[in-house]
Amino acid sequence: MANTETKLEMYGGSLAASIPLIIAVIGFVVFSVYERGAITAFWVSCFIGILVGILFAKNKRRYAQSVFEGISRGEGAAIYVIWIFAGVLGQIWRAGGMIDGMVWLGSTSGATGMWFVLVTFVISCLLATGLGTSVGTVVALAPVLYPAGIVLGADPLALALALIAGGAFGDNLGPISDTTIVSSVSQGAEIGDVVKSRFPLAIVAATIAAVILLIIASMGASVAAQAGAYEIKGNPLGLIQLVSLVALLAFAISGRHIVESVSYSIIIAAIIGIGIGAITLTDLVHIPDVRGGQTGLIQKGIASTTAPIIFVMLILGITQVMINAGVMDRFINWAKKTVAKSVRQAEASVVLFTILITIPLAANAPGILIMADYAKRIAEEFKLHAARAANLLDCAANTAFYMLPWHNAVIAWYTAVAAAAAEYSMPYPPLVPTCLMNPYAWALLGVLLFSIATGWNRSYRDDKISYLTGWTRFG
């Protein structure tokens, strides 16, 4: 076990411990600028940063111990385990009919024009909340809902924005979203408490976004394709999978451990998927045809979490180097003396620094990880509830991130929309300034700033979190 009482000393002073992080961030930016931003590419940036950093350490053993200490941190282990279970659930949902049900609901609801934009936003919100990923949501929905919306007379700009706005909502609120998991666990908060206290922030922002989308859709041009140019598909039986989503939310909010909650949801989703004929028992697990082959959805779900888990391990190793060298203490002391003299200033500093950190990154969970220790110290200083600290981090990380064209979620969204439009020779809006108009991201930023200024939704260490607290707390 690492000797955490010994300070890590660096050549060039404690700030030299920031070199691994600086190198990692530079790598993130370079990969993103060249539109090659991916978690696996970010491994390399982090690894090079750790390699270079050891050259500046006076005590190489202590540096190595710091990296090990960060990788083995309790919150990191919790993130890894939760991600594995969430990955399996996401795969079963995808294969088990949930997407088909959502598509059927949107395409057969009778909504046309601006109202189809609203339906698209709602479906995107629901699916993203369940899957916990905006990327998976827009990639799954854009090929179907975008062409269907154009056929039904929806404005291309509003329709495209509805997809990314709904994805951002789910990333912000979903109990198995990577940002929810990372923000909650890093602050020592129960995910059920976080979802309950974050719900008012997210739902108000979503309501504002829905109104903005309707306004944009009503002002936009209706560009319908030839009737019959696109065959709308879907399966109403897939809507039964919403039972497993509701179960997950209910178990998590009731205070059960998130692994227990996800486990029950996995079982329910598998039973429903088999019951409606979307999957079979052998789809879940079977003997592979060849040695090393795929054994089914469970293995696929676990494998899908490998890349983010390794990334989190490396980021935690880098941040622990900064902690053990005293960088975080210096930063926190500076912030407390200059920009965090009151609870409002302290919360605003968490939001501001998190947004600034996420701007150059192609993924938002890393920004939360980088700022996690600062937010935790601020929460302790002002006796804020851990769920409040998690909400400040997560909401901030889902604002500017969803408006900038080099971020992975924005790239995935626009690529999916453009590909769907091109397949049917349909119009689609330009990347810029469309991405800068994301209504949920702007609304969430406004709601977050209102919450900080007025104290609405603010909770303290001894508060018992409830939906009522989230709606009524001021000051």
Place of tokens 């453009």: 418
Distance between CA atoms of 155 and 146, rounded to whole angstroms?
10
Assign residue 108 a region: left if phi > 0, alpha if psi is -120 to 50, beta otherwise? alpha
Among 402, 414, 309, which residue's Cα sits nearest to residue 361? 402
Q: Answer whether residue 229 shows pLDDT above 60.
A: no
* 322 Cα distance to chain centroid: 25
Distance between CA atoms of 387 and 370, rounded to whole angstroms?
18
Which has more pLDDT, 102 or 351? 351
Domain residue extents for the chain? 1-72+307-327
Over range 325-340, report the average pLDDT: 78
Q: What's residue 311's pLDDT? A: 80
User: Per the structure block, which two tokens stand in for 34?
Assistant: 């060249």
Q: Which of 112-126, 205-219, 301-315, 336-350 comes out lowest in average pLDDT?
A: 301-315
Q: What's residue 93's pLDDT? A: 83
Q: Answer whether residue 4 shows pLDDT above 50.
A: no
Q: What's residue 1's pLDDT? A: 38
Q: Answer whether residue 353 shows pLDDT above 70.
A: yes
Residue 75: pLDDT band by 50, 70, 90 thresholds?
A: low
Q: What's residue 116's pLDDT? A: 86
Burial class (CB in 10 A: 0-12, 13-18, 19+), 444: buried
pLDDT digits (tens, 9 = 90+) for 254-290: 767 778 888 998 999 999 999 999 999 999 999 988 8
Q: Which of 196-205, 258-267, 461-470 comes out lowest in average pLDDT?
A: 461-470
pLDDT digits (tens, 9 = 90+) for 358-372: 886 667 887 898 889
Q: Answer whether residue 2 shows pLDDT above 50.
A: no
Q: What's residue 170's pLDDT? A: 93
Q: Answer whether residue 130 shows pLDDT above 70.
A: yes
Over range 393-401, report the average pLDDT: 96
Q: Answer whether residue 143 shows pLDDT above 70.
A: yes
Q: Tell me the whole-structure pTM to 2 decimals.
A: 0.75
Q: What's residue 361's pLDDT? A: 66
What average pLDDT does the chain have?
85
**C-alpha dist (Å) from residue 406 to 185, 311, 442, 446:** 27, 19, 18, 23
